[in-house]
Structure 1
Amino acid sequence: MKSLCVYCGSNFNGDPAVLQAVESLARTMVERDITLVYGGGSVGVMGLIANEVLKLNGKAIGVIPQFLMDKEVGHTGLTEMIVTENMHQRKQKMADLSDGFLVLPGGFGTLEELFEVLTWLQLGLHGKAIGVLNVGGFYDFLFKQMDVMVENRFLKQANRDLIFNETDVQNLINKMEHFVAKPDEVWFKDRNLV
């Protein structure tokens, strides 16, 4: 894995556990020569991960739509900044540049990005690993909801298993690096969940 797309919040709640997770992730990425691809912001958890990677002499590529650059939230010290016309182009470009997707705490935008690439994986549109760094149980209820979807037969267990849920950065990156997509086990083989 040479590049990793990190989805995370444009806000930061001051939680030291989140800051520690960001620092650990940045250190691991730089040690493994993995380029950060992210939303290009200078604020929130986004700004924290970019700053930490850059501080450790790693590479950070931002992808941001023009309207957010105009609001002066774009990071000005990145290895590379790509400005897109809109959010759709931003998300597609981030996906194209990345070998995997990792999720840190965030809000609606973070969840929307996660579920988009997860759906794309389910449909066989890409074969890249997706992992959640579940800091302090932040995403426990989200994973419980996925289990409810399986229990109610709206989601296949094979599709539920496409996403890694880890609290340790090293374990998560190791699992992601060894991920192999098996499209015949997900959407196309059997749509009958009963």
Structure 2
Amino acid sequence: MPNESSRLGSVCVYCGSSDTVEPSYLTDAHAIGESFAKAGLKLVYGGGGVGLMGAAARGAHAAGGAVLGIIPSFLRGREQPFDDVETVIVETMHERKMLMFERSDAFVVLPGGIGTLEEIVELLSWRRLDLHQKPIVFHNPGGFWDPFFALIRHTVDLGLTPPSLLNAWRAVEKAEDVTPALLNWDGEIDVAGEPATLRQLT
């Protein structure tokens, strides 16, 4: 499979919108946004100025990167758009998710709650249906996403999901490894049959 990173111009971030989280999650989100800017990658996100969303957008913006926020009008009060960046106002969550998908060449998943779960399950479902082959990288600090990965593996073990879906993403623990995971995306199948992780960069 050709190297997907050669076509990367923009990266969508799915993540939580709560400020009442482990502080390191916010610090990491800011650093990841900053790393996108330094790599010349545009950040596409849910448009909010709070939580990990706001931290990632501020990190990218402060480093001089391009940022596109997409937010439904009914969430403007709750998620407080970050007005210093380009923001598109839509009417529904469906419009938001579709526009985020269409404007992005790859996806990064940071810690998040039920909304983030909804987004990533839909993204993986579309991958399962061969509707896209875009890179997907999870930031997995302290094994945050391990229960989700175990659930997907459970559905595979019961014959409800094809094993190939386990190769649809990479997972990295450290914030500084997220952008390299995107830029070194190789699309290779992990022969061990486990969710592929970042290859050693040497």
For the superposition of Structure 1 and Structure 2, which TM-score range results when normalised by the shorter chain? Answer: 0.7 to 0.9
2:123 and 2:46 map into 1 onto residues whose CA distance is 15
| Residue 171 (structure 2) pairs with residue 162 (structure 1) | no
- Asked whether 1:58 is paired with 2:65, we answer yes
Deviation per CA, 1:83-110: give whole Å up to 9, x if none: 1121101100000000011100110100
Alignment partners' CA distance in 2, 1:18 and 1:71: 20
Q: Which moved more, 1:152-161 or 1:16-25?
A: 16-25
Aligned to 1:46: 53
1:11 alignment partner, SS class: coil
2:197 is matched with: none
Query: Could you tell me which residue of structure 2 aligns to residue 98 of structure 1?
Result: 104
**AA partner of residue 31 (structure 1):** K
Residue matched to 1:123: 129
Q: Please state if 1:6 is matched with 2:13.
A: yes
**Superposition map of 1:5-84 within 5 A:** 5-69=12-76, 71=78, 73-78=80-85, 80-84=86-90
User: Which AA in structure 2 matches 1:141?
Assistant: P
Deviations 1:62-85 (A, max 9, x none): 00111112557222111x111112
With 112-121 and 9-18 compared, the bigger mean Cα shift is at: 9-18
Deviation at 1:175, TM superposition (A): 3.6
Q: In the alignment, what sits opposite 2:144?
A: 138
Residue identity opposite 1:137 in structure 2: G
Distance 1:111 1:25 in 2: 20
Gaps of 5+ in 2: 1-7, 190-202
CA contact (8 A) 1:41 1:75 kept: yes
Assess, with a 3 A threshold, how the Cα gap between structure 1 residues 32 and 164 changes in structure 2: closer, same or farther: same
Shift of 1:138: 1.0
- Give me the CA root mean square deviation: 1.9
List alignment gaps of at least 5 residues for structure 1. Answer: 183-194
Instruction: Judge conservation of contact 2:33–2:58 (CA < 8 Å) in 1.
Output: no
Residue by residue over 1:101-145, the C-alpha shift from the partner in whole angstroms, topping out at 9 and shown as x without a partner, is 110011010010011111111111112111110022111111111
Between 9-18 and 153-162, the greater mean CA deviation after superposition: 9-18
Q: How many positions carry a matched residue from both structures?
A: 181
Give the letter for the 2:68 counterpart.
I
The one-letter amino acid of 1:65's match is P
Instruction: Output the TM-score relative to the length of structure 2.
Output: 0.82
Alpha-carbon contact 1:17-1:136 (below 8 Å) kept: no
Give the secondary structure class of the aligned counterpart of 2:61. helix
Q: Which position in structure 2 is the counterpart of 1:150?
A: 156
TM-score normalised by L of structure 1 = 0.85
Counterpart of 1:99, as a letter, is D
Quote how far apart the aligned CAs of 1:14 are.
4.1
Aligned counterparts of 1:12 and 1:124: Cα–Cα separation in 2: 35
Cα deviation digits, residues 132-160 of structure 1 (max 9, x gap): 10022111111111121122111121112
